[in-house]
Amino acid sequence: MKTIIPAERLNSVNEYYFSIKLKEVAEMNAAGKNVISLGIGSPDLPPSKETIDALSLSAAKSDTHGYQPHVGIPELRKAFADWYKDCYGVILNPANEIQPLIGSKEGILHISLAFINPGDGVLIPNPGYPTYTSINKLIGAKIHSYDLDENNNWQPDFDALEKMHLSNIKLMWVNYPNMPTGANATIELFEKLVAFGKKHGIIIVHDNPYSLILNQKPLSILQVDGAKDICIELNSMSKSHNMPGWRMGMLASNPQFIQWVLKVLSNIDSGQFKPMQEAAIAALHNPKEWHETMNIELYSTRRKYAEEIMDALGCTFDKNQVGMFLWGKIPAQYKGSEELADKILYDAKVFLTPGFIFGDKGERYIRISLCCNETMLKEALKRIKEIV
């Protein structure tokens, strides 16, 4: 039989780190090792009761199980628009400036396919979310990394960007509050990004899923005047509404950009399950008290234990970080982040994320997820203290 080989594009990427490592953790747990996972950012509590009730009620109806429009039901788009007005003070036209997504990770692919030809350049942050790099490699884009510096609050160096050859750059990925570093945005940063994009004809895509977590002043790049002309913003209900497995996200931009993305999306998926959309509407109307309890108070308590773990490991960190992770710089005694993370995994049975997976600028850092209850965080701290 003739040998079967996969597409050449697979040579440009590896299996996602968490896909590999979580299989190893599962094997360790199956062997009775009881690993505590502080790796992935998957909220461990359910969404609001109103959200679940809305799903159940809608799913019990006989007329909600068919294919749905690719643009989502009008009520969902309006709920997203209301959410943006309430949270960010941004006015969006629900008819043509919002596109619901099956999670914002899906949007990274759709945006890339809509705007990037093979060989086009893409600016990707280092450190940054690995999916920005892997998807653009799969579609044949040329990756141009731009460094984020701890001494500059993990913001882009615009002087360095201006010195790059930008003529072939079509798109720039940005992400604030930043993952993995927890650095927050400012309106001044967003104004610089919008001006940079307009000057060079580079689409600025802002990935914004963490702005409601441990953050009293959530920001959107679309707050900047004229941002819709050159910017796309992704947002997600996974983190802020405790709905990671529900895969409910959105993007917002000008009508032309939305239409181009829709042309891609409509050829790939078949719309979102209507009861999920109706549940998302309920979640988007959660009272402020729910968010204060879930996204501020809960994570504030957990964050204290994460800081104690960093201290126990001899790591240094910025207490001004926001979002659902804690990012810390490892001691000099370790060669790199993977060495420390593996030591903690195999000796203490606690899984932490090594920063190298986010780019070489993350090599000297580790990340702790706050998506774990206090009992498990206390146990993780106890185990780590025993082995260090």
The β-bridge relationship of strands 231-236 and 155-156 is: unpaired
Q: Which amino acid type is present at position 28?
A: M
Q: What is the pLDDT of residue 388?
A: 85
Q: What is the mean pLDDT of each run of 10 residues along the chain (388 residues)?
A: 90 80 89 91 94 97 94 97 97 98 92 97 96 94 95 96 95 97 96 98 97 95 98 97 95 98 94 96 96 96 97 96 96 93 94 94 96 95 94
The β-bridge relationship of strands 353-354 and 365-369 is: antiparallel
Q: What is the pLDDT of residue 22?
A: 83
Residue 343: left (phi > 0), alpha (psi -120 to 50), or beta? alpha
Asked if residue 149 lies in contact with residue 329, where contact means CB atoms within 8 angstroms, the answer is no
Q: Which helix (H) or strand (E) holds 193?
A: helix 187-200
Task: Report d(CA 323, CA 177) in Å as an integer.
Answer: 7
Q: What is the pLDDT of residue 16?
A: 78
Q: What is the pLDDT of residue 13?
A: 81
Three-class SS of 122-173: EEEEECCCHHHHHHHHHCCCEEEEEEEEHHHCCEECHHHHHCCCCCCEEEEE
Q: What is the CATH number of domain 67-284?
A: 3.40.640.10
Q: What is the pLDDT of residue 18?
A: 77
Predicted TM-score of the model (pTM): 0.94
Residue 365, helix vs strand vs coil? strand
Q: What is the pLDDT of residue 17?
A: 79
Sign of the CA dihedral running 136, 98, 185, 364:
negative
Q: What is the CATH number of domain 8-46+289-387?
A: 3.90.1150.10
Q: Which residues does 49 contact at the CB level (< 8 Å), separation at least 6?
A: none
Give residue limits of the domains in the chain.
Answer: 8-46+289-387, 67-284
